[in-house]
Structure 1
Amino acid sequence: MADRNGTATLGCNAGYTVFSGGGATIRFRAPYSLKRYIRVKEWDEGYLVVDAEYAHSPAPVEEYIDLVPILEDLYMDPAGYLEDIREVEVAHA
């Protein structure tokens, strides 16, 4: 859930990417070798550019996540879900 200042979180758990913000938490399948998200480089109304750590790569890998089609597949209104989110941080377990 986005906090009072509009911050959401991105993380991974048990093979899933977990995004919490906009009043709900969504989970979707992550790449099989994803170990963790390192940092969020860019947030643009549902589009994320992140650095991720993978089991097969010694260096961070830049990844792109578009939440809009994921939200649509979940029958959620992307505009309503994303409207209060101003930034996204990596969730630390």
Structure 2
Amino acid sequence: MSNNSTDSSNEAVLSSSDGFTTFSFGGRHIRFKAPYSLERYVDVVRWDDGYLVVLAKYRHNAEPEEEYIDLKPILDGLYIDSASFLKPIKSVRIA
């Protein structure tokens, strides 16, 4: 969900490749296992302080499906302070 009033320094990037999802922001690239049949992320529907609603294209479905990603437990599991990491992010775009 891109916001025209937000400059790119407050924008994170979501991508997928080789069975992994990557969330990039501020020089950090957080990689985690993606659902097995994910082909690609299509669009960001909503960004809410670490919680993403995205449209994702899966091999088993011709149409994109809503997918939900909660980054807080992922960041916490990596010993990254989720509150300070997520606070400056104003928007997320698909790579």
1:37 to 15, 34, 41: 41
Letter in 2 for 1:7: E
TM value normalised by structure 2: 0.89
Q: 1:65 is matched with which residue? A: 69
Confirm or deny: 8 A CA contact 1:19 1:27 kept in the other structure: yes
Given the alignment of the two structures, is residue 52 of structure 1 paired with residue 47 of structure 2, yes or no? Answer: no
CA displacement 1:7-48 (0-9 Å, x = unmatched): 110010110000001441100000010000000000000000
Confirm or deny: 8 A CA contact 1:23 1:81 kept in the other structure: no
Q: Matched residue pairs, number?
A: 89
Given the alignment of the two structures, is residue 16 of structure 1 paired with residue 13 of structure 2, yes or no? Answer: no
- RMSD over aligned Cα, in angstroms? 1.3
CA distance in 2, matches of 1:49, 1:16: 17
How far did 1:83 drift?
A: 1.4
CA distance in 2, matches of 1:84, 1:23: 13
4+ residue segments displaced more than 2 Å: none
Letter in 2 for 1:62: E
Answer with 58-67 or 17-26: which moved more.
17-26
How far did 1:84 drift?
A: 1.1
CA distance in 2, matches of 1:21, 1:43: 14
